[in-house]
Structure formats: C-alpha cells, structure tokens
C-alpha cells in the first residue's frame, strides 16, 4: 500500500512542481494540491501495461476535443497524475451537452474495430480484467470473438457459468450478424462508460475518466450507460440522436451490447452478474429475425 508521501513524490515528478498538500481519497488514489493551488489526482497503477493503456486512452479521447477529459500530467513510475475535476452534480442541460459531445467523440472514429489508441498496448484492461485490442473488420464477428467469448470461457472455467448456460450465449454469438443491426463504421469508444466513469463538475458538465478505449460500435458505450443508470439518460440519448441518429431497433439491441460488460462483471464479481448475463442472452436467443 502506497503512502501520502509516495503520492506526493509521484505528483512532483509528473508536474515538476512542489506539492503543498496530499490526502488519501480512496484505496490508492490521492488528491494533491500543487504550489500555486492547482488540484490534481494521483492514482497508483502498479502494472506498467495498465498504466500505458490508461494514459493512451485518455489522450486519444482528449484528442477528439469532444467530451472533456482531465489533462494528463504524467503516467510513469507507477503513478498516473491528472487534473482533478471539481465536485458537482449532473444537470439536465449538462446531460444534453454530454449527449451531443459523446456523439461527436464517437464520430471521430477509429482505424478498425478493436484498434487500440495510438501508443496503447494490445493487451489492455477493462477495470481489473484483461482486454485484448485485436483489430477486426466486421463488427458482429469481432464482437463475438474478441469481446463476448473470451469472458464466457473464463466464466465457465471458473464454474461461474455452467456449460449448458454458456450454450445460450454461444447461440447468440452464432446469430450475431442477424442481431447486430445495420453495419456501422468503427467509433472512438470510451469502452467502460458506466456512470462512475463520468464525473460532473460544478457547472453540471460531464468529464470522462478511467477509459478502456478502443475502436468499437457506438451503441456499446450507450448500452453501458444504461446498464448502471446514468443520470438524465433520456436527455443524454435524445441529444445524442440530434447529432447522430441511431439505427432503427436500438432498444432491442441493448442486451446484445450489454453482454460484454455483464460477462466482464461475471468474471470479476461472480454469480449475481451471471444471472443478468443469462437474462440478456435468453432474451436475444428467443428473438426472431426481423
């Protein structure tokens, strides 16, 4: 476990400025104040590959100039140092701004489905789970092979899902081309867009943190927001569609895009999420082609 003094040293190295105050926020995340008053977050990321992936993802999202992302001051020696987003609350107007900005972010695109951010590793992470960024051309096949099935195998190996239960998800993967909707180009995804990774500042504006960024289908980010309950979600989605309308049938595809995060949570946290995964898969498995 790191200490406040370790965090202060990490912040000083990254910013080139002395640290006047530091306090633990949670776990191995610290808030620090630099000489001059600038507030930063100092986060311990011991795995160098995970640190590289997070830095590359943050910079790739920021490069789009769409949704605000905290400035990265450094990502070396096991410490990630970012500007701190001041505390605030979501507002309806801020949610609409976020929806429009998220649409703009997705429209910046990616070279391929599964493409990592520039400088980012192939062997990346989503939360604490490993995630491979292997490019592919057709989204349905790529999503099945690189996102859904790897975590399904892990869940079966851990006996969190039985082989009979896994067969339901496998059938959905086999039907992925008919369930996936119209083809779309790769979008620039945050990749782990649950509500905890969207911070709201004092003006009610949304900021993105903790990405698992890659090229993917834009509906995956939107389905993740719905899965864990983003504030003013209807306002976010309505404003999003003002900029870039979604293909018909989006609501019916939400469980498809939630299979990936649900399986990740099944691997990390166990049987409760396995039940949610199976509910989504059974709903998809029982759907007839349009």
Cα separation, 264 vs 258, in Å, equals 10
| Residue 1's pLDDT band (cuts 50, 70, 90) | low
Cα separation, 166 vs 254, in Å, equals 19
Question: What 8-state DSSP symbol labels residue 146?
Answer: I
Mean pLDDT in residue range 173-185 = 95
Show the CA angle centred on residue 192, arms to residues 62 and 270, nearest 5°: 160
pLDDT digits (tens, 9 = 90+) for 106-145: 999 999 999 999 999 999 999 889 999 999 999 999 999 9
> Domain 92-285 adopts which CATH fold?
Aminoglycoside 3'-phosphotransferase; Chain: A, domain 2 (3.90.1200)
**Domain spanning 4-83, CATH class:** alpha beta
Report percent pLDDT > 90 for the chain. 83
What pTM, to 2 d.p., does this model score? 0.93
Residues annotated as catalytic (active site), given as ranges:
192
Do residues 137 and 113 lie in contact, with contact meaning Cβ atoms separated by under 8 Å? Answer: yes
Q: Enumerate the domain spans of the chain.
A: 4-83, 92-285
Show the CA angle centred on residue 45, arms to residues 51 and 188, nearest 5°: 40
CA atoms within 13 A on the CB side of 198: 31
Question: What 8-state DSSP symbol labels residue 197?
Answer: G
Do residues 189 and 215 lie in contact, with contact meaning Cβ atoms separated by under 8 Å? Answer: yes
Do residues 149 and 166 lie in contact, with contact meaning Cβ atoms separated by under 8 Å? Answer: no
Cα separation, 222 vs 62, in Å, equals 19
Do residues 135 and 115 lie in contact, with contact meaning Cβ atoms separated by under 8 Å? Answer: yes
pLDDT digits (tens, 9 = 90+) for 245-280: 999 999 999 999 999 999 999 999 999 899 999 999
| Residue 77's pLDDT band (cuts 50, 70, 90) | confident
> What pLDDT score does 288 carry?
60
Mean pLDDT in residue range 47-67 = 96
Cα separation, 230 vs 224, in Å, equals 9
Do residues 215 and 188 lie in contact, with contact meaning Cβ atoms separated by under 8 Å? Answer: yes
> What pLDDT score does 130 carry?
93
> What pLDDT score does 289 carry?
52
């Amino acid at each position: 476990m790191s200490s406040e003094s370790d965090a202060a040293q990490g912040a000083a190295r990254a910013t080139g400025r002395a640290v006047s105050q530091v306090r633990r926020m949670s776990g191995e995340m610290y808030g620090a104040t630099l000489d001059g008053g600038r507030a930063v977050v100092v986060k311990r990321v011991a795995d160098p590959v995970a640190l590289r992936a997070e830095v590359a993802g943050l910079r790739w999202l920021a490069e789009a100039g769409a949704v605000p992302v905290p400035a990265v001051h450094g990502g070396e020696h096991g410490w990630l140092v970012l500007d701190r987003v001041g505390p605030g609350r979501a507002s309806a107007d801020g949610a609409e701004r976020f929806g429009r900005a998220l649409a703009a972010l997705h429209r910046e695109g990616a070279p391929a489905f599964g493409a990592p951010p520039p400088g980012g590793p192939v062997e990346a992470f989503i939360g604490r789970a490993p995630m491979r960024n292997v490019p592919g051309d057709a989204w349905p096949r790529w999503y099945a092979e690189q996102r859904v099935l790897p975590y399904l195998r892990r869940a079966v190996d851990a006996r969190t899902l039985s082989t009979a239960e896994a067969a339901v998800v496998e059938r959905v993967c086999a039907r992925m081309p008919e369930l996936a909707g119209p083809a779309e180009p790769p979008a620039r995804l945050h990749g782990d867009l649950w509500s905890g990774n969207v911070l709201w500042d004092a003006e009610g504006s949304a900021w993105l943190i903790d990405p698992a960024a890659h090229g993917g289908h834009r509906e995956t980010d939107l389905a993740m927001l719905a899965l864990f309950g983003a504030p003013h979600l209807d306002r976010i989605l309505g404003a999003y569609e003002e900029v870039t309308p979604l293909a018909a049938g989006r609501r019916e595809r939400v469980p498809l895009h939630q299979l990936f995060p649900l399986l990740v949570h099944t691997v990390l946290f166990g049987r409760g999420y396995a039940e949610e995964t199976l509910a989504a898969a059974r709903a998809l498995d029982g759907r007839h082609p349009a």
